[in-house]
Amino acid sequence: MTSTPDPRRLVASLLVVRASGLLADGQRRHPRWEHDNATLRALLAEGVGGVILLGGAAAELRLRTRQLASWSDQPLLLCADVEEGVGQRFAGASWLPPPLGLGRLHGRDPAAALHLAEQYGRCTGREARALGLNWVLGPVCDVNNNPGNPVINVRAWGEEPTGVAELVAAFIAGVQNEGVLACAKHFPGHGDTSTDSHLDLPVLPHHRERLEAIELPPFRRAIARGVASVMTAHLLLPELDPERPATLSPVVLTQLLRQDLGFAGLVVTDALVMDAIATRHGAGEAAVLALEAGADLVLMPADPWQAIDAILAALDSGRLCADDLRQSAERRRRALALTCGDPDPGGMDPERPLGLLTNGPSAEDRAFASELLRRTLIVQGGKVARPRSQRAVALVRVDEPLACPFLSPDAPALAFPAAAGFRPRVLDRQTPPSWTEDGGNEGPVLLQLFVRGHPFRGSAADGEPWAEWITTLVRQKRLAGLVVYGSPYLWDSLRGHLPQELPAVWSPGQMPDAQALALDRIGLALDVPATLDGGFTD
Amino acid sequence: MTSTPDPRRLVASLLVVRASGLLADGQRRHPRWEHDNATLRALLAEGVGGVILLGGAAAELRLRTRQLASWSDQPLLLCADVEEGVGQRFAGASWLPPPLGLGRLHGRDPAAALHLAEQYGRCTGREARALGLNWVLGPVCDVNNNPGNPVINVRAWGEEPTGVAELVAAFIAGVQNEGVLACAKHFPGHGDTSTDSHLDLPVLPHHRERLEAIELPPFRRAIARGVASVMTAHLLLPELDPERPATLSPVVLTQLLRQDLGFAGLVVTDALVMDAIATRHGAGEAAVLALEAGADLVLMPADPWQAIDAILAALDSGRLCADDLRQSAERRRRALALTCGDPDPGGMDPERPLGLLTNGPSAEDRAFASELLRRTLIVQGGKVARPRSQRAVALVRVDEPLACPFLSPDAPALAFPAAAGFRPRVLDRQTPPSWTEDGGNEGPVLLQLFVRGHPFRGSAADGEPWAEWITTLVRQKRLAGLVVYGSPYLWDSLRGHLPQELPAVWSPGQMPDAQALALDRIGLALDVPATLDGGFTD
């Protein structure tokens, strides 16, 4: 606050823009949202102060963060939505089962869950730092007390405020002890919505008293634990502010978060490109409203150049006050001072080109990921009988088989049952209901359901048809086993339809290691998937 | 030949072992075939002289080749099967349509085809070098005169010997002028087989005269052009050697290749792990037989340690002669001396972390790839009419949707027709014939067939059902258009069933750029696939 930088640079420093984690423009997976390299260079030269990276591989991210840093003359905030381990978005790092698994474990064994939550944060912080990130956009502090929530769901740390508060505090300690910033989101709480804010603006009818009881405790705890940043929610809370969604509301950001909760760290908006905001306000106006409401940083403005110009115009017109923006910049500077910096900013040692990630996750982190899978799995019933019928099928239900990150042709969910005699068959939303006419209506059926974002809603009409299917298969004595990967709500709704002895598993994680473990637990282990390696070349 | 190295190191230097292009063990796509890093370090410390890399991303490969080099105290042969551009196996580099496209163009415009073949080699050599590879395992010199060939097919440069000879010579010149070794394969010619040597040993009944007429001319021309290496075929040619497949046959390698054709460069086996060899001989014995027959280098021995021990034992027993192995090592040394070395072996300039590939392929290589697509495409008929029916579908047939390298949910083959009103529907080998009951039997159908390894065989019984489908759809006036991506044989067999005005395309390439171009040519262009970006996060 002592220097008086160029206003344009000051404003630009409060923007966080989006880049692919991959180096080449042609490799961007979402070119509509990810700036190309020429634009990124220009934005960073302008003084833009942060970049959010989505998607790619760990090794390439190490190069990418170094490249972005080289395009800027100031320290950057480099962040990613790595709520479920760095490997969730960057292949080759640790990919952890989603937090709700620990939320459920907390109900059975709170001490173990808290210990694992702290390790979860450590693993994420350590790997983020090793790859050049200094800001983890987690934990989700939303209490997922609405099983129909399409957007939070398994990303949450639980379904009741006390457990969530304890777990997120442990996670934050883990991340920040590694010299990386954490981010409590989505303030003031996104757990009780059934609208996806990526598509439309959810409305939360709760009074302040209700928020104090359910939504706010995790944020209060996160703040008490020293969380470096808080991300706003694109939610309308008419009882607090009937006009402005939380992201743009002075009542929510300034009165509630800053004054009542006493948060002195960085307030960052959720992505302003999201339709809940973008379709209601211009690219420039949304950014101005967010800063006016009390946000320090503007994440993914729909058009960064328009955002800069609009904020400068608002400074000129007196809508925004330069002192406030300087204070935001000072908060940003203080946050950066808490990070440990790039562990390997200079050249590259050929022996360890990735710092901590030369050969993937460390033995310690691998052991942790494995323990997390084991501790969060729920198993019931016995072992799957080897089918005697040639018509035995392993049905695998996924949202989308194309580019599915957890299902390659040699994934355990396909290879292990195949080795045991179940012919794999992938079902997706396109697959017609008539699939059973393919002979699938005669032999034993092993059912594996990968469902997380769209939990079972209790009715066959708008939900998944599995309760009905399972009932039929059980009646016909053809259900060989059931694995639900992801949603505990789908699991909860289906387990009542299962005979006690039927082999069944809920695994919060969907990744190949989770598949291997779940299938192992019901007797379908395969040490060497040799026969299913699919040949030795692509 | 002047020094007398440790026999074990001498033997090890003649092995080429396999590694993933990805850094971390856990990321290997074929862990049964790709050594882990501990094993690779041990093998390189033992003196193993080459590594074949399969699969990964360009940026990570740049790190990987540097890492492997750092584990060895001698210059390494670092190679990859990048027959269709480096991007075929390493995402982010140039992915080119397969050579048979140029083979077909050669029939229409030989000069253009030859010019493009030379550029094809230059592009491949330049990018290989930029990523630390010094040996391109191409061109395929096999004359694909058997349309039923399951393993060569579109990888070949043509269907008659003269054109193939000219094209491969141009490709070799292009690669080697960039300081990278080329490899003529699969000697003495794999184009007339209908057995996949990955699975079993094909038998070729031809006499020497026939080989001289069809199979050998491209190899003769490649040798005359100075190709640095020749790869052997796993084929039995009883008229030449009734006992040993070419890879293990002194008649084929020493008499035919060395003496008759006068090849003085490196002879390398095809992968010894392939079943045609591996199931008939032990891991050690196959390597001994190959060297005994006249090969210099042993590629992917089923067990490198066993191979080294068996070769040493054969030296002791007198089956192999140390002078011959020293001569092979000398040929290896001379080949390495022809390469230009790693362009950037030391540290890493943050401004250009990938040498030539900082931001993907160069503008020149992008323009070349684009020209290649344009020149090899075949289009007939008019433009696709915008469907008025809600039931219009775009059927997309692929071998395997899971982990499909050219088909993500936002690929042009799905996104462009969807924007025009055709609901995308992916069919695979699993999809039951009853799919049409899904309402797909009423509206217009745009058919896109991705077929290359398994060409149409002229009968509905063992081939693709498309001729019959197309006839039915044409009769019902429901066929809106046809695109065949890959096999010209499938295209040849289907085009006769099409009305003259029907929009139809053959594209040799299957990659997204090929899809975009093919669909553009029949009036389904989509400049900004905005509505199908699938949201802004994964």
Tens-place pLDDT, residues A78-110? 999 999 999 999 999 999 999 999 999 999 999
- How far apart are the C-alpha atoms of B181 and B121, rounded to whole Å? 11
* CATH architecture of the domain with range B18-351: Alpha-Beta Barrel (3.20)
pLDDT of residue A429: 66
**Cβ neighbours of A273 in B, within 8 Å:** 536
Please identify which of the residues A81, A142, A192, A270 carries the catalytic annotation: A270
Q: Best residue in B39, B61, B63, B436 to probe A by mutation, most A CBs within 10 Å?
A: B63
> Within a 13 Å sphere around the CA of A438, how many CA atoms are in the beta-carbon half?
23
Is B353 within 8 Å of A91 when comparing Cβ atoms? no
pLDDT of residue B428: 78
Segments of B201-327 assigned E as strands = 229-232, 266-268, 298-299
Interface residue B357 vs chain A (CB under 8 A): yes
Is B26 within 8 Å of A92 when comparing Cβ atoms? yes
Q: What's the average model confidence in pLDDT over A37-62? A: 94
Interface residue A537 vs chain B (CB under 8 A): yes
pLDDT of residue A349: 40
Measure A119 CA to nearest chain B CA, in Å: 21
Is B402 within 8 Å of A409 when comparing Cβ atoms? yes
User: Hey, where are the domains in chain A?
Assistant: 89-340, 377-532
Q: Which long-range contacts (CB under 8 A, 24 or more apart) does A29-36 make?
A: A29/A55, A29/B408, A29/B410, A29/B538, A30/A54, A30/A55, A30/B533, A30/B534, A30/B536, A30/B537, A32/B528, A32/B530, A32/B533, A32/B536, A33/A273, A33/A300, A33/B533, A33/B536, A35/A304
Between these two residues, A149 and A314, which has the higher pLDDT value?
Answer: A314
Q: Six-digit token pair at B60?
A: 């990570």
Interhelix angle B161-177/B110-130, rounded to 10 degrees, is 40
Interface residue A338 vs chain B (CB under 8 A): no
Is A67 within 8 Å of B350 when comparing Cβ atoms? yes
Whole-number average pLDDT of chain B = 89
| Predicted confidence (pLDDT) at residue A396 exceeds the cutoff of 80 | yes
pLDDT of residue B535: 44
pLDDT of residue B460: 37
The answer, yes or no, to whether the previous bond of B190 is cis (omega within 30 of 0) is: no
Is A403 within 8 Å of B400 when comparing Cβ atoms? no
Please identify which of the residues A198, A275, A324, A492 carries the catalytic annotation: A198
| Helix ranges, A283-428 (H) | 283-293, 304-317, 322-338, 363-376, 412-419
Q: Name the closest residue on chain B to residue A429, using Cα atoms.
A: B425
Contacts of A121 (CB under 8 A, 6+ apart): A139, A170, A171, A172, A173, A174, A175, A176, A177, A178, A182
- Where is B104: in which H helix or E strand? helix B100-108
Q: Give the single-character DSSP code of B133.
A: -
> Is the distance from CB of A12 to CB of A47 less than 8 angstroms?
yes
- How far apart are the C-alpha atoms of A459 and A471, rounded to whole Å? 14
Neighbouring-strand partners of residue B266: B229
pLDDT of residue B436: 52
Interface residue B347 vs chain A (CB under 8 A): yes
SS3 A259: helix
Interface residue A453 vs chain B (CB under 8 A): no
Interface residue B274 vs chain A (CB under 8 A): yes
Is B537 within 8 Å of A30 when comparing Cβ atoms? yes
Is A435 within 8 Å of B432 when comparing Cβ atoms? yes
Give catalytic residues of B, as residue numbers.
198, 270
Segments of A178-331 assigned E as strands = 183-187, 229-232, 266-268, 298-299
pLDDT of residue A457: 42
Q: Name the closest residue on chain A to residue B439, using Cα atoms.
A: A432
Phi, psi (rounded to 5 degrees) for B499: -60, 150
Is A402 within 8 Å of B405 when comparing Cβ atoms? no
- How far apart are the C-alpha atoms of A62 and A48, rounded to whole Å? 20
Is B23 within 8 Å of A358 when comparing Cβ atoms? yes
Q: What's the average model confidence in pLDDT over B233-250? A: 96
Task: Please tell me whether the interface predicted TM-score (ipTM) of this complex is above 0.85.
Answer: yes
The percent of residues above 90 in pLDDT, for chain A, comes to 73
Would residue B533 be called left, alpha or beta, if left means φ above 0 and alpha means ψ between -120 and 50 degrees? alpha
| Predicted confidence (pLDDT) at residue A521 exceeds the cutoff of 50 | yes
Neighbouring-strand partners of residue B505: B379, B483
Q: Which residue has the tokens 């480096």?
A: B86
Measure B21 CA to nearest chain A CA, in Å: 11
Considering only the beta carbons, identify the residue of A23, A346, A425 that sits closest to B358. Answer: A23
Neighbouring-strand partners of residue B236: B203
Q: How far is CA A452 from the centre of its chain?
A: 12
Closest alpha carbon to B164 in B213, B229, B233: B213
SS3 B19: strand
- How far apart are the C-alpha atoms of B87 and A110, rounded to whole Å? 49
Tens-place pLDDT, residues B101-157? 999 999 999 999 999 999 999 999 999 998 999 999 999 999 999 888 888 889 999
**Cβ neighbours of B91 in A, within 8 Å:** 27
Interface residue B150 vs chain A (CB under 8 A): no
Interface residue A271 vs chain B (CB under 8 A): yes
Is B273 within 8 Å of A400 when comparing Cβ atoms? no
Is B26 within 8 Å of A361 when comparing Cβ atoms? yes
Interface residue B22 vs chain A (CB under 8 A): yes
Q: Six-digit token pair at A178?
A: 């590694």
Interface residue B405 vs chain A (CB under 8 A): yes
pLDDT of residue B454: 58
Measure A407 CA to nearest chain B CA, in Å: 7
* CATH architecture of the domain with range A89-340: Alpha-Beta Barrel (3.20)
Tens-place pLDDT, residues A307-362? 999 999 999 999 999 999 999 999 999 999 999 766 555 444 433 444 545 678 88
| Predicted confidence (pLDDT) at residue A434 exceeds the cutoff of 50 | no
Q: Six-digit token pair at B263?
A: 């090849």
Between these two residues, B292 and B389, which has the higher pLDDT value?
Answer: B292
**Cβ neighbours of B537 in A, within 8 Å:** 30, 54, 81, 198
> Is the distance from CB of B29 to CB of B89 less than 8 angstroms?
no
CB atoms within 10 A of CB A1: 9
Closest alpha carbon to B166 in B112, B230, B85: B112
Segments of B61-108 assigned E as strands = 77-80, 90-91
Which positions 226-265 of B are in contact with A (Cβ < 8 Å)? Answer: none
Measure B529 CA to nearest chain A CA, in Å: 9
> Is the distance from CB of A189 to CB of A230 less than 8 angstroms?
no
| Predicted confidence (pLDDT) at residue A154 exceeds the cutoff of 70 | yes
Phi, psi (rounded to 5 degrees) for B446: -100, 125
Is A26 within 8 Å of B361 when comparing Cβ atoms? yes
Measure B499 CA to nearest chain A CA, in Å: 30
Interface residue A430 vs chain B (CB under 8 A): yes
Considering only the beta carbons, identify the residue of B60, B350, B404 that sits closest to A57. Answer: B60
B395 CB burial (10 A radius; 0-12, 13-18, 19+): buried
**Cβ neighbours of A405 in B, within 8 Å:** 538
Q: How far is CA A328 from the centre of its chain?
A: 26
Measure B536 CA to nearest chain A CA, in Å: 6
Identity at A245, one-letter amino acid code: P
**Cβ neighbours of A81 in B, within 8 Å:** 537
- How far apart are the C-alpha atoms of A475 and A468, rounded to whole Å? 11
> Is the distance from CB of A120 to CB of A372 less than 8 angstroms?
yes
> Is the distance from CB of A461 to CB of A433 less than 8 angstroms?
no
Identity at A331, one-letter amino acid code: R
Is B426 within 8 Å of A401 when comparing Cβ atoms? yes
- How far apart are the C-alpha atoms of A66 and A59, rounded to whole Å? 11
Which positions 188-207 of B are in contact with A (Cβ < 8 Å)? Answer: 198
Between these two residues, B432 and A418, which has the higher pLDDT value?
Answer: A418
Tens-place pLDDT, residues B71-80? 999 999 999 9
**For every residue of B232-252, which 3-state class applies, written as one string?**
ECCCECCCCCCCCCHHHCHHH
pLDDT of residue A199: 65
- How far apart are the C-alpha atoms of A341 and A134, rounded to whole Å? 7
pLDDT of residue A197: 63
Considering only the beta carbons, identify the residue of A29, A425, A536 that sits closest to B430. Answer: A425
| Predicted confidence (pLDDT) at residue A510 exceeds the cutoff of 60 | yes
**Cβ neighbours of A59 in B, within 8 Å:** 22-24, 57, 59-60, 63
Is A402 within 8 Å of B400 when comparing Cβ atoms? no
Say how many Å lie between the first and final Cα of chain A, rounded: 57
Interface residue B69 vs chain A (CB under 8 A): yes
Identity at B43, one-letter amino acid code: L
CB atoms within 10 A of CB B207: 11
Interface residue A32 vs chain B (CB under 8 A): yes
| Predicted confidence (pLDDT) at residue A529 exceeds the cutoff of 60 | no
Between these two residues, B407 and A151, which has the higher pLDDT value?
Answer: B407
| Helix ranges, B420-521 (H) | 466-475, 488-495, 512-521
Phi, psi (rounded to 5 degrees) for B295: -70, 150
DSSP string of A42-77, one letter each residue: HHHHHT--EEEEESEEHHHHHHHHHHHHHT-SS--E
* CATH architecture of the domain with range B377-532: 3-Layer(aba) Sandwich (3.40)
CB atoms within 10 A of CB A146: 18
pLDDT of residue B224: 98
Q: Six-digit token pair at A75?
A: 């320290």
Interface residue A402 vs chain B (CB under 8 A): yes
Is B63 within 8 Å of A353 when comparing Cβ atoms? yes
Positive/negative CA dihedral, A37, A39, A42, A45:
negative
- How far apart are the C-alpha atoms of A475 and A493, rounded to whole Å? 18
Closest alpha carbon to A237 in A227, A250, A220: A250
Identity at A336, one-letter amino acid code: L
| Predicted confidence (pLDDT) at residue B36 exceeds the cutoff of 90 | yes
Contacts of A530 (CB under 8 A, 6+ apart): B32
- How far apart are the C-alpha atoms of A385 and A122, rounded to whole Å? 40
* Beta-carbon contacts below 8 Å between A and B: 197
**Cβ neighbours of A58 in B, within 8 Å:** 24
